[in-house]
Amino acid sequence: MSILKYLETARHKVFAARKYLKVLGFSSFHTAPNSSVELHSQEEEVVIALGSNVGDRLHNFKEALKLMRNSGINITRHACLYETAPAYVTDQPRFINSAVRAVTKLGPHELLSTLKRIEKDLGRTDGIRYGPRPIDLDILFYGKYKVSSDILTIPHERIWERPFVMAPLMDLLGSAIDSDAVAAWHSFSGHSGGLSGLWEDLGSESLIGKEGMYRVIPVANGLLDCSRRTSVMGILNVTPDSFSDGGNFLSVESAVSQVRLMISEGADMIDIGAQSTRPMASRISVEEELGRLIPILEAVVSMPEAEGKLISVDTFYSEVALEAVSKGAHLINDVSAGQLDSNMFKVMADLDVPYVAMHMRGDPSTMQNSENLKYDNVCKEISSELYSRVREAEISGIPAWRIIIDPGIGFSKKTEHNLEILFGLPDIRKEIGTRSLSISHAPMLIGPSRKRFLGEICPRPAAERDPATIAAVTAGVLGGANIVRVHNVKANLDAVKLCDAILRQKSSHMNSRL
């Protein structure tokens, strides 16, 4: 018998035995770690934890994910990103931690060898246990199996005591049992409430935002914790036809002057848009948008006052996004969530900047037609449709920790829909959370500023709608918005500060009662 036929026969026997054991309910999987062939071709779902505290931590994560994908590990979901205090060996830099769900045909020891090779390729060397490392990749779960050998134990033996592992793990799993593998992972915890019960016992969400662990989003070579306070994004429209200020800031000089004013009034971010997305707006070309945008973007980025501020570009064109980031933009704000440019997700997956995905039906020229304004339950349908766009973005390679969500106030919405959004922001998060906890934890941006629905309630022209905008912003921040996009920074910043103070007081009161 040839060696190929021998191996094929052996493989069939192993699969037959494994299938028989599965029927009987066995879940142990013992393989030889030093065998040259690990007989496993069935695709299994796995969870892999990531950690880094040496060098460029975010770059280490990006390279690790790329090498994993190139090695037969197909990543399907990303957890949020956490900055955490070091455990066990405390005299070392802070870590960033996360986790991913993936599917692979690699056997458990093949998977281990692959991850060890990636660690080595990214500069990890032997050092003290739990000490500093550029990258740490641990297999938390592998299919429905428990694995035990001299070099590998699955489930990872210290999952249950580590909040910095449990937090991203729960982001990936949520409360839904969406596969047999997930059911097995819950059972492996040994807790009557599964992993969810174990996480509750550890403290769950009460642990986030404390001194040891923060949920963050990477931006501008740093980490932003959007839960600490609400960020104010000032609007700069460099268009001739925007509904509120079209034509006011077409020159570089006038645009820079407006940015200087918004920064002096307390803006944390500036959002530059070179294409109007008002209702019935005609679409301009990539070339025309770039011609308007780039001179002003370059001038704004070079302003001394802009140091430490975040510059966003409002575009639905992937070519504009790519060029804007190359010129210094820190994030991309896409009103179409990838619907108007099929290449947007691919481009954004390769860029190291946050991506704002907004809910909209149709495009600006069609979004207010009768078909796009039909909702049975506006918050539930926004959640479902926005989640489907973000899910596609994630599958395309944009990690959940780089996504900001926007329910799209004023875009394919009637006045009553916009009001339902403002008081229904918690419901939108909750509904998204039934599908993905990590996406439900994403920062939320709202943009009610001076929009038509405010004028329908308070009959005033766009330039006189700032008092109504302040009221809408107040409702949104108290409902959980993390970023507010406004024309009048000064007036809205005061409202935001008051809302943040109210929320801090509420949180303090609740904690004291616990």
Residue range 44-213, CATH number: 3.30.70.560
CB 88 within 8 A of CB 30: no
Judge whether residue 127 has pLDDT over 60. Answer: yes
Those residues whose C-beta lies under 8 Å from the C-beta of residue 414, and which sit 6 or more positions away, are 373, 453
Six token digits for residue 332: 């991309």
Judge whether residue 25 has pLDDT over 50. Answer: no
Instruction: Choose, from 146, 451, 452, 506, the residue flagged as catalytic.
Output: 451
What CA–CA distance (Å, rounded) separates 109 from 475? 53
Instruction: Choose, from 69, 485, 497, 504, the residue flagged as catalytic.
Output: 485
What CA–CA distance (Å, rounded) separates 103 from 446? 35
Residues 148-165: tens digit of each pLDDT: 999 999 998 889 889 999
Judge whether residue 432 has pLDDT over 90. Answer: yes
Percent over 90 (pLDDT), the chain: 79
Type of residue numbered 397:
G
Six token digits for residue 130: 């739990």
Those residues whose C-beta lies under 8 Å from the C-beta of residue 292, and which sit 6 or more positions away, are 238, 239, 250, 274, 275
Q: Say whether 485 is catalytic.
A: yes
Burial class (CB in 10 A: 0-12, 13-18, 19+), 356: buried
Judge whether residue 38 has pLDDT over 90. Answer: no
CB 320 within 8 A of CB 331: no
CB 472 within 8 A of CB 462: no
pLDDT the model gives residue 35: 42
Tell me the average pLDDT across 237-258.
82
Residue range 229-512, CATH number: 3.20.20.20
pLDDT the model gives residue 195: 93
Residues 168-179: tens digit of each pLDDT: 999 999 877 888
CB 398 within 8 A of CB 442: no
Judge whether residue 317 has pLDDT over 70. Answer: yes
Residues 72-123: tens digit of each pLDDT: 999 999 999 999 998 888 889 999 999 999 999 999 999 999 999 999 999 9
CB 272 within 8 A of CB 300: yes
Across the chain, mean pLDDT equals: 90
Type of residue numbered 295:
P
Domain-by-domain residue ranges, the chain?
44-213, 229-512
Question: 225 in helix, strand or coil?
Answer: coil
